[in-house]
A = this chain, B = another copy of it.
Amino acid sequence: MATPKTPDSTRRSERSRRAIFDASLELIGEVGYDKLTIEGIAARAGVGKQTIYRWWPSKAAVLLDAFLADAGDEEIELPDTGDLAADLKAVLRASVDEFNNPAFEAPYRALAVAGANDPELSEQFVTRLQETGYQAYVNRLRHAQEAGAIAADADPRIATEMLLGPFFQRWLMRSLPLTHDFTDTLVDMLMRALAPR
Contacts and interface: CB of A to CB of B under 8 A. Distances in A.
Copies of this subunit: 4
B173 A158 contact: no
B112 A174 contact: no
A79 interface: no
B113 A174 contact: no
Interface string A163-186: 011111110111100000010011
A162 B154 CA distance: 15
Interface residues of A, number: 44
Contacts of A33: 117
A143 B34 CA distance: 43
A189 B193 contact: yes
Interface of A: 32-34, 109, 112-113, 115-117, 119, 122-123, 125-126, 130-131, 134, 151, 154-155, 158-159, 161-162, 164-170, 172-175, 182, 185-186, 189-190, 192-195
Top 8 nearest A-B pairs (CB, nearest first) are: A165-B166, A165-B165, A193-B193, A161-B166, A165-B169, A192-B193, A126-B175, A113-B116
